[in-house]
A and B are shown apart, each in its own frame.
Chain A
Amino acid sequence: MTAAESLDRRQLLKAATGLLTGFVVAGSPLAAIAQSRGWAIDLGALSSAEGATLAAMARTLFPHDKLDDVAYAQVIQAVDGEAQKDENTLHLLQVGLQEMPQDFAGLPEAQRVAALKKIESTTFFQTMRLKTVQYLYASPVAYAYFGYEGEAFSKGGYLLRGFNDLHWLPDVPREDSGPLPISG
């Protein structure tokens, strides 16, 4: 780490208003790629309580039971980053949060769903839904969880890495398919 990065990080920590923390579940897809078991995410615009409510909202919107909390916390980190840069976003989030039950994160799922259904037509809800989709499924944690392999150019494509390895259906006759461009 360079001195400049270290300084930036210290400044960030000093400026942080909230914190989300957790532990990676042993044996989860994340455990294979995580650098350590514990994680902490600094928030610059949102408080810890606000962050925790939004993280619970993200999980209620897209409940993947075996997906680590860190994946949802990273969504809130990204949303917090937007709120730091744009006061309108921060305002939208804070006003929206006021319409949420205070103990939202602690409620059983059915009650969390009911609370979200009540605000489904609001800009706050729609914004959080879209941002959660955008960030949740684009993260390396999600790639690992869903088994998505991503770009393949750096590995020579999928030509020799399984693009045609489906064997639970018949192969396609040659006239409707085509030759492999190289012999594998």
Chain B
Amino acid sequence: MPGAAHRISHQDENAVVIIGSGAGGGTLAHELTRRGIKVVLLEAGARQSTETFSQIPGEAFLQLTWLDHRTQSGDWGVGRDFPAMPVWHCKTVGGTTVHWTASAPRLQAWEMRAKSTYGGVANCSLIDWPIALEELEPFYEMAENRMGVTRRNGMPGLPASNNFKVMYAGAQALGYKKVHTGHMAINSRAHDGRGFCIQQGFCVQGCKMAAKWSTLYTEIPRAEATGNLDLRVQSTAARIEHNKNGRVNAVVYRDLQGIEQRQKARIVCVAGNAIETARLLLLSDSPRFPRGLANSSDQVGRNYCHQITGFVWGIFEKPVYSWRGATLAGVIEDEAIHNSARGFAGGYRLELCALDLPTFPLVGLPSGWGRDFAAIMENYRNISGMFINGEDLPRAENRITLNPAVKDSYGLAVPNVHVDEHPNDRAMRQHARQQMAKLFEAAGAKQTVMGPTPPATHNLGTARMSVRPEDGVSNKHGQTHDIANLFVSDGSAISTPGSANPTLTIVALALRQAEFIAQEMKASRI
């Protein structure tokens, strides 16, 4: 029965422990428990619901966001514009699926062969994925069905909003062909016991209609209903322990009273978002694994990718009311191609965007003041927005490390996020910004305004899947190369980011990983 607390003993050596309840961890928990496997799900955040989601943007931000201290370094724009906040993800049951904007495209076949496709790009650590798109396709289909993705499986598209009408008109003028209201994990009609989108425009604050897919009200209650899930909220993993054979056997965590607990485990799956997943593996060093768990390759935390982003705002003579309607329901896919004539490798998508009034000047225009700034704000209701979501190139030195100089409230080193932009990243963003400005001008904009790169919401690659152990941390099932019963179950496992917003891929990989784990457990190999 949903919500029932099924207790698994701290001493139960047969438990699968999953750390994190977002797209990866929440989906994996459901898939394992429905197969009869006992799962302890540790979630650092508290449990909210459609009843408790705040409808005040500032409050909602504080309610859902991972606010624990991080430091950052490197030359990316986020360091200048958002020094205290390199990344923006959630700390709540359901993880970042509570605040995501639900764009759910697939990766393309060539994006999963990035190294082969792009050839020799200097100063990056590109690899090909250890699996081809064909191997992922059945799981994409399952994920799309489960999440109710629009324009798949007979789910209609979302109806066009005012903001999308602007994007569409400009896109037609520029000759773009693949322009529509997106593959969105938002119900365009009632589906799976959840209602349809009523165009609130509050996707980021938590969808009070539950029309947007989130593990909070889909996978997790279903996992609870199996009677096999022990969800422990406000429980923060501090380290993963191993036995003398080098197999992981327990997770040490702080419970909601801040008391240290130790859960024995048969298998541990880490799904804490790419920053915390890498941090936890690094924090779990031991005499046998002095560089941290699963890190004999020294790749844990490296190859951090965040996808290229950046806003452009178009100011029009007449109102757009961009805040009315599903935040991200609009996409142009024509630039999601590899065409080196554009001056960079990889592709990008142009995606619709709107920010509520309090958030717009904080995130959309993070610097400036005076008459020019105020003049933009005066036009708030006449503003249309877009951003780029593009492939960034992995680099060994773009990485999550432990910052020994800054400790959290439990005395553990906080993570440092280091990003130096690759020239390819800059060239892509520049190209996309020009296209967006041209598009708005073609639709009649009187002014275009370049916004910043916001704190990263797509955190990827820090424990990536690789064919060769020396190139990554995990194999094609997200099973770590070093430790057979330790898995990576979130965006950290993504080999290269491509231009697709990552959640659908994370869910598909979790569905695939669940089959593998169940099969390996049955065969007593793990």
Contacts and interface: CB of A to CB of B under 8 A. Distances in A.
A and B found bound together: yes
Interface of A: 60-64, 113, 116, 129, 133-134, 137-138, 142-143, 146-154, 156-159, 161-166, 168-172, 175-182
A147 to B, nearest CB: 5
Interface string B351-378: 0000011101110000001110110011
A22 to B, nearest CB: 20
Given A163-B201, A170-B165, 13 more contacts: A61-B370, A64-B374, A143-B357, A146-B378, A151-B205, A158-B198, A162-B162, A166-B320, A166-B321, A172-B164, A177-B160, A177-B164, A179-B156
B202 interface: yes
A150 B381 CA distance: 12
19 contacts: A138-B357, A138-B358, A146-B381, A149-B321, A150-B357, A152-B199, A157-B198, A157-B199, A157-B200, A158-B325, A161-B324, A163-B325, A165-B321, A171-B165, A175-B180, A177-B164, A177-B180, A178-B160, A181-B189
Contacts of A182: 196
B362 A133 contact: yes
Nearest to B54: A151
Contacts of A134: 58, 358, 362
Interface in B143-166: 150, 156-162, 164-166
A169 B170 CA distance: 10
Interface in B169-213: 169, 179-181, 188-190, 196-202, 205, 208-209
Interface size class of B (residues with CB under 8 A): 35 or more
Nearest to A109: B371
In the A-B complex, the 8 residue pairs with the smallest Cβ-Cβ separation, listed nearest first, are: A157-B198, A178-B157, A151-B55, A158-B324, A166-B162, A138-B358, A177-B160, A148-B357
Contacts of A162: 162, 321, 324
A181 B374 contact: no
B402 to A, nearest CB: 28
Nearest to A113: B370
B361 A137 contact: yes
Contacts of A143: 357
B318 interface: yes
A138 B161 contact: no
Contact of A164 (B162, B189, B197, B378): B162
B55 A153 contact: yes
Nearest to B57: A138
B165 A153 contact: no
Interface of B: 55-58, 150, 156-162, 164-166, 168-169, 179-181, 188-190, 196-202, 205, 208-209, 318-321, 323-325, 356-358, 360-362, 369-371, 373-374, 377-378, 380-381, 443-444
Given A151-B55, A153-B55, A172-B160, A133 B200 contact: no
A166 B166 contact: yes
Contact of A151 (B162, B202, B320, B381): B202
Contacts of B369: 61-62, 116, 129
A164 B374 contact: no
A150 to B, nearest CB: 7
A132 B152 CA distance: 45
A172 B374 CA distance: 32
B373 A62 contact: yes
Q: Is the interface of B mostly helix, strand, loop or mixed?
A: loop
A136 to B, nearest CB: 8
Nearest to B360: A137
Given A113-B370, A133-B361, A159-B199, A64 B166 contact: no
A10 to B, nearest CB: 29
Given A151-B202, A158-B324, A178-B156, A62 B179 contact: no
B397 to A, nearest CB: 29
A148 B158 CA distance: 23
Given A147-B380, A158-B324, A171-B165, A63 B318 contact: no
A179 B443 CA distance: 24
Contacts of B165: 164, 166, 169-172
A146 B361 CA distance: 13
Given A61-B370, A62-B377, A146-B377, A181 B200 contact: no
Contact of B357 (A64, A142, A177): A142
B425 to A, nearest CB: 27
A158 B373 CA distance: 28
Contacts of B188: 178-179, 181
A36 B381 CA distance: 28
A177 B157 contact: yes
A177 B199 contact: no
A180 B324 contact: no
Nearest to A128: B369
A60 to B, nearest CB: 8
Given A62-B377, A137-B361, A153-B208, A164 B159 contact: yes
A156 B200 CA distance: 8
A165 B381 contact: no
A175 B181 CA distance: 9
Given A63-B371, A63-B374, A163-B324, A147 B381 contact: yes
B200 A178 contact: no
A102 to B, nearest CB: 22
A101 B428 CA distance: 46
